[in-house]
Structure 1
Amino acid sequence: MMLRKLKASIKALLRKSPYKIIRAVDYNRFEAIEETLRALKRRGYAPKVIADGGANVGSFSLLADEIFGPNVKIHMFDPQPACAPALEALAAKRGFLYHAAAMSAKSDENVHFVVDPVAVTTGAYVEEFATPSSVSVPTIALDDVFTNWLRKDDRALLKLDLQGWELEALKGGRGSLRNIEVVLIEVAFYAKSHEPTIAQLVQFFDDAGFELYDIASIYPRPRDNRPRHGDFVFVRSSSALCEDKAWA
């Protein structure tokens, strides 16, 4: 009885303080994509065009619209059949543009896409060969969507969450990248199959005139808290976002 009263008293005091007590566990990794986008906005970033590669059911598109809208033009890319109803509904209701294809180096080809044919999943991915769980889906190159009209003053944002297919998608957008200011991209700390290494991605962006600007998230594997994948932010080196390099 005395112990319960003591615990209740301590909890009451903590509720009035800025502190909290937690169990001793491994240090948490972080998930701060929303805060990263809001921080970019606070620093003056205001994209007019957003490309959501690997849109799934449109959660990122809705978040980006909430932060940067209402006049931003949003393109959603995802080939998953199970995601189509949600993305079609968003396109109809919110005016987002929906491309039911896998972003890749070239348009009008087909790739083997491993996916649950009925349920929505965030783990769908491109496979080199057909498997019993893969479906054939069309591809689309970023340049075939944006090259003819995208301008630097659109300050475009490209988000890529393609489960290891990001570098192929970037190869199909070399022209568009000249007029893209910010890229939010999923990275793998170690490969399971064909994921590009972080070094390969950094080199690609360095060659394209971007610099690593921020790390928006790190996701660990539960058994030992080792990072397995995350989301990096690359910004064009000529962007005003990169001008302030003061330490404090």
Structure 2
Amino acid sequence: MLTKPVYWRGAIHRVAAGIEHEKFLKRLIDCKTVVDIGANRGQFALVARHYLPNAMIYSFEPLPKPASVFQSIFKNDPQVILFTGGVGSVVGKFPMNVSQKDDSSSLLPISKLQESFFPGTRKKEEVLVEIAPLDHWIKEDQIYPPALIKIDVQGYELEVLKGIKNFLDHFKYIYIESSFYELYVGQPLADDIINFLYSKQFRFRGIYNLVYDSEKNAVQGDFFFEKRSTKN
């Protein structure tokens, strides 16, 4: 893994590149723009930076501690821009339920089922974070096609998609973590996400990184969608 120079940036800051996404990103070497929502410490951005060296990466992380680490990793990289906020359907400051493992934090309450499937993810505190639609953060002409949007927001997926609004037409690919169980109270499940994106002319193309419970039931995975039209 560390034969890839960009991964060393993360290793210096004790952040492992999200190599589980390599297989997916190898398919998308034509991408010119990546919007990375739920960036945490830069695990996905490190892999995207390696496999999509010509792409601009716009990352979003509202929690101060992981955002600070992300900024340290990419501080000298003009192709990676971090916004210290999140994407949603409305503008405002909202309480984030911070997990003991901060990459499991959510704007939705953490359920007991989440703690059961993923021990050590219970809530430890709340932090106010800034949320706004995507067009609050970036402009339409910053999205060069073909473009990918990656969403990993622990149950807040549908609100993020609503917050992207008309910008959805500017993305060819969507890569979104979705669940088959309500790991966060009130979260939309996988079929809700599929139905929403189907209505927006995206085709479901596959699942990566499936997680199973002890009885071999699928719990969650990274869902891949592609725009039906050839516009992008």
What range describes the TM-score normalised by the shorter chain of this pair?
0.7 to 0.9
The answer for unaligned runs of 5 or more in structure 2 is 1-18, 110-122
Distance 1:170 1:142 in 2: 9
Secondary structure of 1:126 counterpart: coil
Larger Rg belongs to: 1
Q: 1:84 aligns to what?
A: 67
Q: In structure 1, give the amino acid aligned to 2:162.
A: K
CA spacing shift, 1:39–1:47, aligned 2, 3 Å = closer
**Residue 190 (structure 1) shift:** 1.4
Q: Is the 8 A contact 2:21 2:47 kept in 1?
A: no
Q: In structure 2, give the amino acid aligned to 1:176.
A: F
Q: In structure 1, give the amino acid aligned to 2:210.
A: I
Distance 1:58 1:180 in 2: 21
Q: Is the 8 A contact 1:150 1:176 kept in 2?
A: no
Q: In structure 2, give the amino acid aligned to 1:101.
A: G
> Is 2:31 aligned against 1:47?
yes
Per the normalisation by structure 1, the TM-score is: 0.74
Distance 2:57 2:45 in 1: 7
**Residue 240 (structure 1) shift:** 9.0
CA spacing shift, 1:56–1:132, aligned 2, 3 Å = closer
- What are the residue-to-residue correspondences of 1:30-179 with 2, within 5 Å? 32-41=20-29, 46-69=30-53, 71-95=54-78, 96-107=80-91, 109-115=92-98, 121-127=102-108, 133-150=125-142, 154-179=145-170
* Pairs aligned (count): 200
Q: In structure 1, give the amino acid aligned to 2:25.
A: L
Q: In structure 1, give the amino acid aligned to 2:155.
A: G
**Residue 79 (structure 1) shift:** 0.9
Distance 1:66 1:154 in 2: 19
Q: 2:229 aligns to what?
A: 238
**Residue 33 (structure 1) shift:** 2.5
Secondary structure of 1:105 counterpart: coil
Distance 1:220 1:111 in 2: 31
CA spacing shift, 1:32–1:127, aligned 2, 3 Å = closer
% identical aligned pairs: 25
> Is 2:217 aligned against 1:226?
yes
Q: Is the 8 A contact 1:111 1:127 kept in 2?
A: no
Deviations 1:134-187 (A, max 9, x none): 111111211323453145x52110000000001101101121111111000000
Question: What is the Cα-based RMSD across aligned positions, in Å?
Answer: 2.3
Secondary structure of 1:162 counterpart: coil
Secondary structure of 2:39 counterpart: coil
The answer for unaligned runs of 5 or more in structure 1 is 1-30, 242-248
Distance 2:41 2:209 in 1: 20
**Residue 54 (structure 1) shift:** 0.6
Q: 2:190 aligns to what?
A: 198
